[in-house]
Structure 1
Amino acid sequence: MVAVKRSNCFHKHGHHVKCQTSNNPFMIIFACIQIVLSQIPNFHKLSWLSILAAVMSFTYASIGLGLSIAKAASGGEHVRTSLTGVQVGVDVSGSEKVWRTFQAIGDIAFAYAYSTDTIKASPPENKSMKRASGVGVTTTTLFYVLCGIVGYAAFGNDAPGNFLTGFGFYEPFWLIDFANVCIAVHLIGAYQVFAQPLFGFVERLCAGHYPDNKFITREHAIDVPFCGVYYLNFFRLVWRTAYVIVTAVLAMIFPFFNDFLGLIGAGSFWPLTVYFPIEMHIAQAKIPKYSFRWVCLKILSWVCLIISLIAAAGSVEGLIQSLKTYKPFQTRNEE
């Protein structure tokens, strides 16, 4: 959202202008949208959200990939590239490169931090889940690899963290604006995808502990014109609103996107995507202990744990370095 405003500023006044724009008003707007969306019960049943998110992802990834290909093919300016990336002693120090590599692993882990259906199901559902997961992971990997390779070919060692919001491209500004709007729409839905399971968990936990508390359990029917009946729960209203406000304030205090992305990825990848699915599969398939298959699965789990710990260390180091030069609620516009 900030990138759209800055893009229009660059187009109007030139690329040499700083075009400083505060992130905070846009974070507040984002939070207000999330407060409204968070009050929708059974949000996960809105199938159109998944379709919209998929379309948005495909659109902005394709635009970024297309612009990178065009920039790399034009050969307008020489970019420094090498097989091992940024050069120690030129771009970064040796320790910085190690920490950045660890952080990058966390970013990749975040992209693949999802839980698949490991519960025994009927053959049609089981086959559908396997097919959907296979297509999803293959498509995702294809886009990530292409964006990474072609993006590096286009920008070299000076590649921005995000070549759409980091202004690797300035023109055509309208296309970049459209891509960033797609990102914003996608992230509005993505916030709910991550938050709704937590909302549901806390509400079920509280309802179980305090079943007679009317503030927690009572649903008030409200007739909304043209929309039907909406059931208002005051606990849901207060708890979800407070959660969104707290996350918005934290985002304004610590707007370090890549560092937090890597940290979240490192924290969620091993338990949700590796450990629990493997343990569930071992129990479900009744794999004998210390058998070849059991040992291989355990080795895979431990290797992924080590990767997650390494990624977490890199992300924490990145946050520490960022905090050394950052003041709370201060805008960081990076080109």
Structure 2
Amino acid sequence: MGEEEGDRRTEALLEKLSESSYNPSEEPQVRRTGTVWTAMAHIITAVIGSGVLSLAWSVAQLGWVGGPTAIVFFAGVTVVQSSLLADCYISRDEDGHGVVVRNKSYVQAVRLYLGEKSRLFCGFFLSISLFGSSVVYTLTSATSMRAIQKANCYHTEGHGAPACSAAGGGSDVYYMVLFGVAQLVLSQIPDFHNMAWLSIFAAVMSFSYSFIGFGLGAAKVIENGVIKGAIGGIALASTTQKVWRVAQALGDIAFAYPFSLVLLEIEDTLRSPPAESETMKKASRASIAVTTFFYLGCGCLGYAAFGDATPGNLLTGFGFYEPYWLIDLANLCVVLHLLGGYQVYSQPAFALAEQWFATEGSSVDLNVFRLCYRTAYVAAATAVAVWFPYFNQVVGLIGAFSFWPLAIHFPVEMYITQAQVAPWTARWLAIRAFSAACLLVCAFASLGSAVGVFGSKES
């Protein structure tokens, strides 16, 4: 029964390939020069972002057992799903040798392996996730820019100065608009193949502020002479509040990891030999190992330093006041990193719209459409950030809502089709169990994060 089902899957996939309008000889000549190092730069730029700044808060909600366990769990999940998705980049002929299709984007791969209905379903979640990441990056950059102003004020006026607590209180909008203007310029970068320099620069910035956050947390623990925090995390007034906080914390951690929505775009920049999937898996494993080290360091040291007073954003919550120039440098690195990180998540959204426009055969010039669409996209992301300026809640909601469909469901289904995994075999059952477990965790996190976002808006 399993073999018959596998044969049917193979026939269906070959039929889709034969119906595809793709012809390798007609593919535009793109120079793929990427290496494991450039892939790591893209991944680190995509993964180590605003999510790392909320991890100390997340660990504080989950406690000394739950916090590190959740970080390691999502790291493991990301290793598995990135490996599954990397194998879906190239669809080969029946003999397994010739390249039939290069799936240069997530949506293209979903359409080929799973069909048009799945593509539409995927496009909905992908659009929300990509746009949501732009909103979160706008929020984070504005918070970091204002933190620089406040740090200088605290240094000059004293740590308890009331004027500094209110410094820039109404200026977040100004900083969001400033960041948006910068993105209007960067958004004119044509595509991923022209972004290696920006990703390398952004990756260096992410390492810089992660090191600073790591070091500040360690220094604070040494200064305190004691490790703060509790096994069960921060105690709240009611069990219901605790449950929602735990759910929100899981959403924050989920947001901090996956890069599945840009993995195939990154893989399409890689040269071969060796096989692109082999290079991508190596880059993914190395990048996730590095980011997990920093995540555990920033999350656990932040909680150890501040305990129940752990801020929502480690570098802007002002548990750290001095040395003020180091706080300034860290927040500047955050802003510079997010300038590139924003583009890593925006380019697939731009490509989606522009591919649709090109297929419509409109009389409007593509360059004019690109300018107008990308400008409108950045303006809309900035406007939403202004309307919902709740960092931890927004991070958690976007992470939890999009994690399972994009990082788990579609990669699993595509891999089963691509690898022709027969139903009810041990491998099939293991993959299905993996998907189901992640679904339960993400449903719980989504509910708690939604309560956090809309509860904050109402209050």
TM-score by length of structure 2 reads 0.63
Following the alignment from structure 2 to structure 1, what is the Cα–Cα distance between the partners of residues 310 and 456? 19
The amino acid across from 1:147 in the alignment is C
The 10-residue stretch of structure 1 (247-256 or 37-46) with the greater mean CA deviation from structure 2: 37-46
Contact 1:206 1:216 in 2 (8 A): no
Contact 1:113 1:268 in 2 (8 A): no
Residue 129 of structure 1: how far off its partner (Å): 1.2
Contact 1:106 1:261 in 2 (8 A): yes
Following the alignment from structure 1 to structure 2, what is the Cα–Cα distance between the partners of residues 147 and 168? 13
Following the alignment from structure 2 to structure 1, what is the Cα–Cα distance between the partners of residues 300 and 436? 29
Identify the match of residue 268 of structure 1 among 390, 402, 413: 402
Task: Classify the secondary structure of the residue corresponding to 1:39.
Answer: coil
Task: Classify the secondary structure of the residue corresponding to 1:133.
Answer: helix
Following the alignment from structure 2 to structure 1, what is the Cα–Cα distance between the partners of residues 349 and 392? 23
The amino acid across from 1:48 in the alignment is W
1:308 matched to 2:451: no
Following the alignment from structure 2 to structure 1, what is the Cα–Cα distance between the partners of residues 276 and 227? 49
Contact 2:202 2:339 in 1 (8 A): no
1:57 matched to 2:57: no
Long gaps (5+) in structure 2: 1-144
1:68 matched to 2:233: no
Task: State the match for 2:333 in structure 1.
Answer: 182
Length, aligned pairs only: 303
Residue 48 of structure 1: how far off its partner (Å): 1.2
Taking a change above 3 Å as real, the CA distance of residues 17 and 44 of structure 1, as seen in their structure-2 partners, is farther
Identify the match of residue 114 of structure 1 among 259, 263, 273: 259
The 10-residue stretch of structure 1 (179-188 or 78-87) with the greater mean CA deviation from structure 2: 78-87
The amino acid across from 1:25 in the alignment is Y
From the two aligned structures, give the one with the greater helix fraction. 2
Matches within 5 A, 1:1-335: 1-18=145-162, 19=164, 20=166, 21=168, 22-75=171-224, 80-89=228-237, 93-115=238-260, 116=263, 123-209=274-360, 211=361, 213-217=362-366, 233-325=367-459
Following the alignment from structure 2 to structure 1, what is the Cα–Cα distance between the partners of residues 445 and 345? 20
Residue 311 of structure 1: how far off its partner (Å): 1.3
Task: Classify the secondary structure of the residue corresponding to 1:69.
Answer: helix
Taking a change above 3 Å as real, the CA distance of residues 52 and 169 of structure 1, as seen in their structure-2 partners, is same
Following the alignment from structure 1 to structure 2, what is the Cα–Cα distance between the partners of residues 136 and 208? 36
Residue 122 of structure 1: how far off its partner (Å): 6.0
The amino acid across from 2:287 in the alignment is G
Contact 1:207 1:216 in 2 (8 A): no
Contact 2:404 2:442 in 1 (8 A): yes
After the TM superposition, which parts of structure 1 deviate over 4 Å for at least 4 consecutive aligned residues?
A: 116-119
Long gaps (5+) in structure 1: 218-232, 326-335
Could you list the per-position Cα deviations for residues 230-281 of structure 1 after superposition, in whole angstroms to 9, with x for gaps in the alignment? Answer: xxx1111111111111111111111111111111111222122211221222
Could you list the per-position Cα deviations for residues 23-65 of structure 1 after superposition, in whole angstroms to 9, with x for gaps in the alignment? Answer: 0111110010011111222254221122112111111011011
Residue 79 of structure 1: how far off its partner (Å): 7.3
